[in-house]
Structure 1
Amino acid sequence: MEISTMETIETLGTVAFSISGSFAAMQRRLDPFGVLIIAFVTSIGGGTVRDLLLGDTPVAWMRDVNYCLLILLTSLATIFFKTHIKKFKVTLFLFDSAGLGLFTMLGIQKGIMFGLSPGICVALGTITGCFGGVIRDTFLNTIPLIFRKEIYATACILGGVLYFTLKYFNMKEDVANISVIAFIFVFRIVVVRYKLTLPKFGY
């Protein structure tokens, strides 16, 4: 994948997760500083865990301050426009789903850059896509989606499998990337719309 394409995906993913983090924080009525912190950890959490696992340090957001500025500007814009958006929950869900697809693809590509096996690449994609949300939900004192019966990490895993399947059949890189991102986004919407869930264990 070309560097410019990776940067585009990372920028879009950062914006999407920054918006979802901001809305999650505003739902809990945090002050502007709290909103910024939640937006920040949502945007950089998954990528930070991924880079630490790969030994790629300093982690990405420390090497490029533009990502921090992007999160700041996106958060401020979200706070400013909040009065024009009535359905916080729907907006949060849509941007979270978009960020999930974008960051999953980014994590997969990072694994490929390091020459890792497809299975590990899919795992890195899942970590990149999910762990920002895990940290966000933990900070907001809610059970993270990945640990609930709602299908979340499964979407990342299936997206990763789809990517390597498409590459096996020699699909063009950009088409494969867009297909996987779109699949994860649509898959999340479908499973939530029709209330599809994984089995729930417990007493």
Structure 2
Amino acid sequence: MDRIRNRRNRTRTFRDLRQHARGPAVTGLLHIPTGLDLSAVAVGALGGAVTATRRAASEGIDVIGVMVIGIATGLGGSMLRDVALARTPAALRGDGYLLTAMAAAGIGMMFAHLLVRAATLIALTDAAALGLYLVLGITKAQLAGLSPTGAVLVGILACTGGGVLRDLLLGDPVALVRIGSWYVTAALGAAGVFLLCQPHLELTIATIATVLTAFALRAAALRWAWFSPAAGRRLPRRVSVRR
């Protein structure tokens, strides 16, 4: 009996030390409402469906295609994040994510003619979702034992994955790597804020600061038309090979 008690005590001590090493900010992930994650899914699916509906007539996209693009935009980031962490995607473990994405995509398809006028509002809401997905991605990566650099990489993958899938399904150049997108720039700035705030503040406060940073950077880029610099110089179309 004494041996069994000693083993139990050592197991509890190890668990306490491991949880203490993670820190209060990481374990505080349990206090993030699931509704916030679902809200980010809804915003992504709504925006993807609106974009697809606007181009449906000219590019021959049917109803199923619009729904697929909307759902992929809403769920793409979280699914890529979970795959990178070698986990079963949350969208496949419960019905809430898929149903939310389907409902938001349907609303976006039916009311696209009204939502197009609110394109700025959707873009700003998407900017807020960018920071939220970033926080969730970084924190889950930390729980999986990744380094700070790896955690930031997973966070950026989570907050940009949906947009990449949308562009690929629409046959567009991926906006993530094009001039003027400012997705990665905003994500990197917000990730820096989160990593600085996380050790010293509660997760809720760190999350708010991160979301506000991502929102401010994206909103400023939209308002003042900030563009990321082009790489390299323009080469002449014709290069002489004469010596």
TM-score by length of 2: 0.76
Matched, 1:43 2:74: yes
AA in 1 matched with 2:145? G
Aligned counterpart for 1:21 among listed residues 48, 52, 55 = 48
Post-superposition shift, 1:158?
A: 1.2
Shift of 1:180: 0.5
Within the candidate set 147, 150, 154, 2:185 is matched to 154
Query: Which segment is superposed worse, 76-85 or 138-147?
Result: 76-85
Aligned pair partner of 2:209 in 172, 179, 183: 179
Equivalenced residue count is 201
Q: CA deviation at 1:15?
A: 1.0
Q: Structure 1 residue 177: deviation in Å?
A: 0.4
- Please give the alpha-carbon distance, in whole angstroms, between the structure 1 residues aligned to 2:165 and 2:29: 30
Give the Å deviation of 1:84.
Answer: 3.1
Q: Is the 8 A contact 1:23 1:88 kept in 2?
A: no
Partner of 2:139: 109
The alpha-carbon deviation at position 95 of structure 1 amounts to 3.6
Distance in 1, matches of 2:147 and 2:161, equals 21
Identify unmatched segments of 5+ residues in structure 1: none
Report percent identity of matched pairs.
Answer: 25
Match of 1:74 in 2: 104
Deviations 1:87-118 (A, max 9, x none): 26434423432332221111111112112222
Give 1:8's aligned residue. 35
Given that 1:12 and 1:102 are in contact with CA atoms closer than 8 Å, whether structure 2 keeps it comes out as: no
Further displaced range: 63-72 or 42-51: 42-51
Alpha carbon RMSD of aligned pairs, Å? Answer: 1.8
Aligned-partner Cα distance in 2 for 1:162–1:35: 36
Listed as ranges, the gaps of 5+ residues in structure 2 are 1-27, 235-243
Could you tell me whether the CA contact under 8 Å between 2:54 and 2:112 is conserved in 1?
Answer: no
2:51 aligned partner, one-letter code: A
Are residues 139 and 91 of structure 1, via their aligned partners in 2, closer, same or farther at CA, if it must alter by over 3 Å? Answer: farther
Provide, for residues 45-71 of structure 1, a one-character-per-residue CA deviation record: whole Å limited to 9, x for no partner. 122222222111x22211112111111
Partner residue in 1 for 2:85: 54
**Structure ID, larger Rg:** 2
The residue number in structure 2 matching 1:124 is: 154
2:230 partner SS: coil
TM-score (norm 1): 0.90
What SS is found at the alignment partner of 1:85? helix
Give per-residue Cα distances to partners, 1:130-186, cap 9 Å, x unaligned: 011011011112112211112111111111110011124x12210110110121012
